[in-house]
Amino acid sequence: MTSSTTRLPTEAEIAAINAQHLIETPLRPADLLFVFGTRKDVEVRVEEACRLWREGYFRWAIVSGGVTPGSELSECEIIAGAMVARGVPADIILREDRAMNTGENVIFSLPILEEALGLANIRSVICLGNTWTARRYPMTLHRHWPEVEKMLVTVDSFATPRALWHTDAEFSRRVLNEWDKIEPYKARGFIAEWPDGGLGVGQQAQR
C-alpha cells in the first residue's frame, strides 16, 4: 500500500493493530533518547522530548533527520534547536542531519553514537516518534542494534483517542500505511521482530 491508503480496516485488523503495532512499553530512565525526525507534529515531539528530559528519563539524546523538500533546514536542526530553546542542554544532544527515512535514521546515527559515546556504553534507548509509525522505530533499531534495551514513546496531535484511530480518516490512513509496511519490511530485512512482549494500546504502560 502507498501513503494514499483509503481502505477501511476490518475488526480483526483493528484488534491486531491495537495489540501489536500501537504498543506502549514500560518506561524507565535510559541512557539515550533517540528522536526520529519528522515534518508532522514537530511541536508535540519537541515537547515530549523536553518532558522526558525534565523528568530525568535520559542522559543523552540523538536527533536524526535530513533536509526535506520545502525546507532549508534539516529535521535534525529544527528539532534539536527547539529542544535547546526549551531547556535541554545543547551538549547532551548528538545530531545526524542526512537521514531521509527511518532506516537511515538508525544506520547514519550508529557511527555518530559510537564515536561520541561508544555503543557498548549505551544499554537502553527510548525511541520517540509518531504514534502511527509506532513499533517500526524500535523494530528498525533492533535490526541494526539488537543488543540494546528499547523502549517506545509516541506522540500525535489528533484529538481522537489512540485506541479509536480507525474512526478518524486521516489517523486511519497513516496507521494503515505504516501497518502495511511491517511484513514487507521484515521480509526485506529492513526491520526485525520486536518486542518479545509489549503492551497494546489501551493497556496501561508504567511511567
3 state DSSP class of 126: strand
Among residues 177, 167, 96, the alpha carbon closest in space to that of 132 is found at 177
Confidence class for position 195, pLDDT limits 50, 70, 90: confident
- Percent of the chain whose pLDDT exceeds 70: 92
Question: Is the confidence at residue 204, as pLDDT, over 50?
Answer: no
Q: CA-to-CA distance for 133 and 89, rounded, in angstroms?
A: 28
Class of domain 26-156 as given by CATH: alpha beta
Among residues 146, 104, 143, 152, the alpha carbon closest in space to that of 123 is found at 146
pLDDT in tens, 8-60: 999 999 999 999 999 989 999 999 999 999 888 899 999 999 999 999 999 99
Q: CA-to-CA distance for 110 and 104, rounded, in angstroms?
A: 10
Confidence class for position 203, pLDDT limits 50, 70, 90: low
3 state DSSP class of 90: helix
Long-range contacts of 5-8 (CB under 8 A, 24+ apart): 5/173, 5/176, 5/177, 5/180, 6/173, 7/176, 8/166, 8/172
Confidence class for position 1, pLDDT limits 50, 70, 90: very low
